[in-house]
Amino acid sequence: MSLPSQTSSRKRSSGWRPSQQNEAYLFLLPSLIGFALFVLVPIVGAFVLSFFKWNLISPAQFIGLDNYQQLLFQDAVFRKVLANTFVYAVSIVPLQLISGLIMAVALNQGIRGLELYRLIYFMPVITNIVAVAIVFQWLLNRDFGVANAWVWQLAEATGWPIAPPDWLNSSFWAKPAVIILTLWKNIGFTMVIYLAALQGVPESLYDASKVDGASGLQRFRFVTIPMVSATTFFLVVIQMIGAFQLFAEPFVMTRGGPAQASLTIVMYIYQNAFEFGRMGKATALAWILFAIIFVFTLIQTRLQRRWVHYETGD
């Protein structure tokens, strides 16, 4: 007879040898050294640094809360990047979730060629962000890009007075350009996660709702959405964390411009630290970003109780 592992591990706990203690530290040592050097010390260092003014060359100068105070109350660029980052987050997260879910539902209808479709939709996820950002720069080029060529052709065919935008040099269209790239790049990820969740929804629920006369749309609304809500919650949280830390996409595509129109918080951190030599200010900014992410994650975790449906296991 085999014991459940719970019991056996408890049984084991009574007979441990002290020599294991030293052994355990030996196993931990390589990880601990790196962890201390590159995680723990930097966390403390970042905290301390955020109260200093330091350009790496002249001696660091303690300035108390000045970095924070300046950022929160005086820095107009900070307000701008904060607003930009929020625009990115509130557009990328829902668009990502909706399109990913639609694609996953479409793929989950027992159609043929699932593997091939998945191969195609997931391909952008594994590509290099710098390379694809350059490709999108070219796709969205004002005069010779594919996107604008279509708009011109549409205008010609219909006679509508529409002129295509200069995506990357327009303070309005630079953000949508970045959003289009992130959607294209990450939709496959959302889709694959949703697909796994959909495959876990019991067929019997759909059958039962069919018997009750629910239409396809009703089944989607009242069976599918609640049954994948735990996945939705997970995706909302990680996509939000990702969107708040957007860097490479605008960095390569627009360099944050024109006139900071597409600049993000992380890009501003990068600029402060490595272009303006303001290490303390950049670190303070990083902590503010952390606080924002933390608060939003907390809010999501609180709100989830109202809308996330967990299997009760009856």
Are the C-beta atoms of 156 and 212 separated by less than 8 Å?
no
Confirm if 266 and 256 have CB atoms less than 8 A apart: no
Binding residues for another protein, total number by CB under 8 A: 97
Q: Does 132 bind another protein (CB under 8 A)?
A: yes
User: Tokens standing for 256?
Assistant: 């944050």
Taking CB under 8 A as the binding criterion, the range among 70-78, 157-165, 182-190, 220-228 that sits at the site for another protein is: 182-190
Q: Which residues pair with 53 in a beta bridge?
A: 61
- Under rule CB under 8 A, residue 197 binds another protein: no
List 104, 178, 223, 289, residue binding another protein (CB under 8 A): 289
- Residue 162 binds another protein, judged by CB under 8 A: no
CA dihedral 275, 57, 54, 258 (to 10 degrees): -10
Within residues 15-34, the interface with another protein by CB under 8 A covers: 16, 20-21, 23-25, 27-28, 30-32, 34
**Which residue(s) pair with 61 in the sheet?**
53
Nearer to another protein, 173 or 189 (CB): 189
67 vs 280: CA distance, rounded Å: 7
Query: Among 72, 80, 91, 122, which residue interacts with another protein (rule: CB under 8 A)?
Result: 122
Residue choice 149, 151, 201, 230 for contact with another protein (CB under 8 A): 149
Q: CB nearer to another protein: give 32 or 208.
A: 32
Q: Which of 83, 134, 162, 299 binds another protein (CB under 8 A)?
A: 134
List 130, 208, 259, 295, residue binding another protein (CB under 8 A): 130
Two tokens at 202? 């019991």
Task: Considering only residues 208 through 267, tell me which ones interact with another protein, judged by CB under 8 A.
Answer: 238-239, 241-242, 245, 247-248, 251-252, 266
CB closer to another protein, 133 vs 223? 133
CB 126, min distance to another protein, A:
5
Binder among 121, 167, 173, 233 for another protein (CB under 8 A):
121
Q: Which of 195, 197, 182, 302 is nearest to 252 (CA)?
A: 182
Asked if 170 and 289 touch (Cβ cutoff 8 Å), the reply is no
Token pair in block for residue 140 = 């969205």
State which residue, 78 or 136, has the beta carbon closest to another protein: 136
Query: Least distance to another protein from the beta carbon of 314, Å?
Result: 26
Site membership for another protein, residue 124 (CB under 8 A): yes
Cis peptide before 164 (omega within 30 of 0): no
User: 184: which residues sit within 8 A by CB, 6+ positions away?
Assistant: 124, 132, 136
Residue 174 is a binding residue for another protein (CB under 8 A): no
According to the binding rule CB under 8 A, does residue 45 interact with another protein? yes
Kindly report the CA angle at 96 between 255 and 129, in degrees rounded to 5?
A: 35
| Dihedral sign, Cα of residue 147, residue 242, residue 302, residue 298 | negative
